[in-house]
Amino acid sequence: MQTWKHWRLEQTPNTADIGGPAFLYFDKSFADGSESTNTFSSEALHELGDVCAQLKVNPPKALAILSAKENGFAAGADIDEFARITSADQAFAFTKLGCDVFDQVAALPFPTLAMIHGFCMGGGTELALACRYRIMDDGAKSKMALPEVMLGIVPGWGGAKRMPQLIGAAQALDLMLTGRGVDGKKAKRMGLVDDVTPRRHFLNAAKVFLAKPRAPHQPAFKDAISNWPIIRGWVANMSRKKVAQRARKDHYPAPYAIIDLWEKFGGDPRVVPAGDPISIQSLFSHPTAPNLIRIFKLQDRLKSIGAGKSDINHVHVIGAGVMGGDIAAWCALRGLKVTLQDLDHARIAPAIKRAAEAYKKRLKLPHLVQAAMDRLTPDVKGDGVAHCDLVIEAIVENAEIKKKLYAAIEPRMKPSAILATNTSSIPLQELSVGLTRPERLVGIHFFNPVAQMMLVEIVEGPNTSTETMQRSQAFVKKIDKLPLPVKSAPGFLVNRILTPYMTEAQVMLAEGIPAETIDAAAKEFGMPMGPIELADVVGLDVGLAVGRELHKPGNPQPAKIQELVDAKKLGKKSGEGFYKWVNGKPQRAHGSGTVDLAPLWMRMTLPAVNEAVACVREGVVADADLCDAGIIFGTGFAPHRGGPLKYLRAAGKDKLLQELKLLEQKHGQRFIADAGWATIV
Ligand code: NAI
């Protein structure tokens, strides 16, 4: 066996295998055990180049490449190295290095086979594509993907070249433009892998496969034609149209660059002139890529907040409405035992029905759907209270009703069980009055829709114990959400920052600016959905309650939302709010018109930025990075801008302060800059 720092080569594992394949294990930093995940740093790539050079001189009959890490084949490029890149030239050099080394793998003069288990992302998939063959583990956790687009970059290590050749451009572009992963079965159907087999059979499978290698996979005719020069332009245009429905080119240049890279340069970034807008240099000089890479790292930081084993196995959810029903369904989906309580069966039934539909869509296989349903039990009597490790209360947003419920259930809870509230805005100090053990009260605040929003605020009241915080954070990580600890100030973090933005939109509406124009302005800034539409989606009753709780004396309180709630027009859920809703879509009377949208989005977003500054100053959240992460993962706040505080720094503090001053002169005190601006450098 021969070893490098990140690779181990077994050329003749035992005498019986002489003449059999060599096995190359990717095992990042195995000597000091400092890394549990394989990622491609420059060093790991250089070493792979050395391995190839040596194998060329002393070739085995065949080579199988495997990962020695439990969690997967490779997670892609080393994101820390990416984040350290400070110049466009460095970015190009890193791209070229990966491209050159994987070309060396592709040029090896003997059969090569990637054996893929667990996650195989970005560079991992590109290495696998550089091999002549691929075999994938059949487990549900094994996924292949080229998710570079989510970081604002392109699959630059040969993926944009080799994947379209292997499975046809239409399928490959779909994977590259969405970044979505495929499991073994799907990968085999697409032609991405040659075989699927359990990981425990990998060594034998490699020997058998490589003893008599077949002809390398060729795409089926229907797939191959999408690469033909006469069809190519049409495929590219169709893809551009699809992308345009989801992402603006000025906000997200990467998906457009992927299409151009494939269409005009055969997927090879090394041949793109440096000045071309789709070159690696241009993509890295654009603010979006560094912002998205930072967000990716912040996501890791949030995950690490929930580190440690969670001891929560049984969750009892009270309130089977919009939130409670979906929280219960999500926890059961993630493997926890869940009991769901409401005032009567009729109120629980819709939540169970929603869960069944969601499980069918997500899990597909009937036995998995059944197992998830078995974990979710309707519990009108509330028997689960006495047995669970965690109660999540998600009943009406009314402090008195919530406190009455706590008084009834607290004596029945296990001493070690946590009492959590999903309240949107009621301070914990108010809810903890009357509790025997206020140290176990915590806010576990999910966002709507539960299945889609990654963030969960873990709200620390003045009495909440450190242990309760830690156990709550670990629970949230266990159910695959991102925990963000925040202090129990009104509105916590996300709603507090969102509210002045939503309110300003409604003030503008009251001034006569059409809802369509307001929503278009927010989208031009980069919000995934306009604030008027969002108010309808969240529910106007909920929005009204939060707006009231967070209202500051002297600020306007738009009357329209109250009128709509009085008329039972609650938004999407009742079929009408600010918009009329048909088949789940808002009915827009007209387009946004020809007005300049920039002053409108400036007026709506600056109050949010100002509130974010205040939250950091007050210590509602630990620092500016976590504040940005919270708003992005809790609301989808213009990810390409990197969050409100990153946006502040990019746009320039002095410029934004000047804008605030002008808005204050025109509209009043709500635009007064927070004291925290003074400390921002
Ligand atoms: P909802 O009105 O859809 O559901 C509340 C449910 O609680 C109803 O089914 C009701 O029958 C039940 N309930 C009321 N009193 C009860 C009691 N004493 N015992 C058992 N069940 C009882 O309300 P939604 O929207 O699900 O909100 C629930 C909580 O989540 C509120 O505190 C709200 O502020 C918070 N929240 C709401 C969000 C939203 O977007 N709707 C987002 C995040 C938090």
CA-nearest residue, atom 14 of ligand 1: 395
Q: In the prediction, which pLDDT does 301 show?
A: 96
Question: Would you say residue 30 has pLDDT above 70?
Answer: yes
279 part of the active site: no
Q: Residues enclosing ligand 1, CB less than 6 A?
A: 318-324, 341-343, 347, 394-397, 401, 405, 422-424, 446-448, 538-539, 542
Q: Which of 142, 279, 488, 495 is catalytic?
A: 495
Question: What spacing in Å lies between the alpha carbon of 321 and ligand 1's midpoint?
Answer: 5
Question: What spacing in Å lies between the alpha carbon of 485 and ligand 1's midpoint?
Answer: 22
Q: Which of 117, 251, 286, 445 is catalytic?
A: 445
Residues 592-597: what's their mean pLDDT? Answer: 84
* b/e burial code for range 661-673 (CB count within 10 A of at least 16 → b): eebeeebeebbeb
Task: Please write the tens of the pLDDT for every residue from 145-203.
Answer: 999 999 999 999 999 999 999 999 999 999 999 999 999 999 999 999 999 999 999 99
CA-nearest residue, atom 29 of ligand 1: 394
Question: Would you say residue 80 has pLDDT above 50?
Answer: yes
Question: Would you say residue 15 has pLDDT above 50?
Answer: no
Question: What spacing in Å lies between the alpha carbon of 56 and ligand 1's midpoint?
Answer: 66
Q: In the prediction, which pLDDT does 18 show?
A: 58
User: What mean pLDDT, rounded, does the chain reach?
Assistant: 95
Question: Would you say residue 681 has pLDDT above 90?
Answer: no
Task: Please write the tens of the pLDDT for every residue from 224-269.
Answer: 999 998 999 999 999 999 999 999 999 999 999 999 999 999 999 9
Which residues, including other chains, have CB under 8 Å from residue 194's CB and lie 6 or more apart? 133, 134, 135, 188, 209, 214, 217
Name beta bridge partners: 143.
119
Which residues, including other chains, have CB under 8 Å from residue 200's CB and lie 6 or more apart? none
Residues 578-582: what's their mean pLDDT? Answer: 97
Question: What spacing in Å lies between the alpha carbon of 408 and ligand 1's midpoint?
Answer: 17
Question: Would you say residue 275 has pLDDT above 50?
Answer: yes
Q: In the prediction, which pLDDT does 546 show?
A: 87
Ligand 1 closest atom vs CA 546: 34
Task: Please write the tens of the pLDDT for every residue from 451-490.
Answer: 999 999 999 999 999 999 999 999 999 999 999 999 999 8
Which residue is associated with the tokens 């509330």? 382
Provide, rounded to the nearest whole percent, the portion of the chain with pLDDT above 70: 99
Task: Please write the tens of the pLDDT for every residue from 409-454.
Answer: 999 999 999 999 999 888 999 999 999 999 999 999 999 889 999 9
397 part of the active site: no
Q: Ligand 1 test: best mutation among 330, 392, 406, 424, most atoms within 8 Å of CB?
A: 424
6 part of the active site: no
The two structure tokens encoding residue 495: 């709603």
Ligand 1 closest atom vs CA 424: 34
d(CA 14, CA 92): 42
457 part of the active site: yes
Do 359 and 369 contact (CB within 8 A), yes or no? yes
Question: Would you say residue 44 has pLDDT above 60?
Answer: yes
Residues 49-76: what's their mean pLDDT? Answer: 96
Q: Which of 279, 282, 291, 424 is catalytic?
A: 424
Ligand 1 closest atom vs CA 319: 7
Ligand 1 closest atom vs CA 401: 18
Question: Would you say residue 12 has pLDDT above 70?
Answer: no
Q: Which of 263, 410, 457, 524 is catalytic?
A: 457
d(CA 261, CA 435): 62
Question: Would you say residue 17 has pLDDT above 60?
Answer: no
Question: Would you say residue 16 has pLDDT above 60?
Answer: no
Q: Which of 519, 495, 497, 523 is nearest to 509 (CA)?
A: 519
Q: In the prediction, which pLDDT does 430 show?
A: 94
Question: What spacing in Å lies between the alpha carbon of 548 and ligand 1's midpoint?
Answer: 17
Of the pLDDT bands very low, low, confident and very high (cuts 50, 70, 90), residue 296 is very high
d(CA 542, CA 170): 43
Q: In the prediction, which pLDDT does 19 show?
A: 67
Residues 205-232: what's their mean pLDDT? Answer: 92
Question: Would you say residue 680 has pLDDT above 90?
Answer: no
Question: Would you say residue 538 has pLDDT above 80?
Answer: yes
Residues 503-520: what's their mean pLDDT? Answer: 96
* b/e burial code for range 54-87 (CB count within 10 A of at least 16 → b): ebeeeebebbbbbbebeebbbbbbbbebbeebee
Question: What spacing in Å lies between the alpha carbon of 116 and ligand 1's midpoint?
Answer: 45
Residues 81-96: what's their mean pLDDT? Answer: 92
Q: In the prediction, which pLDDT does 591 show?
A: 76
Q: In the prediction, which pLDDT does 490 show?
A: 87
Do 178 and 150 contact (CB within 8 A), yes or no? no
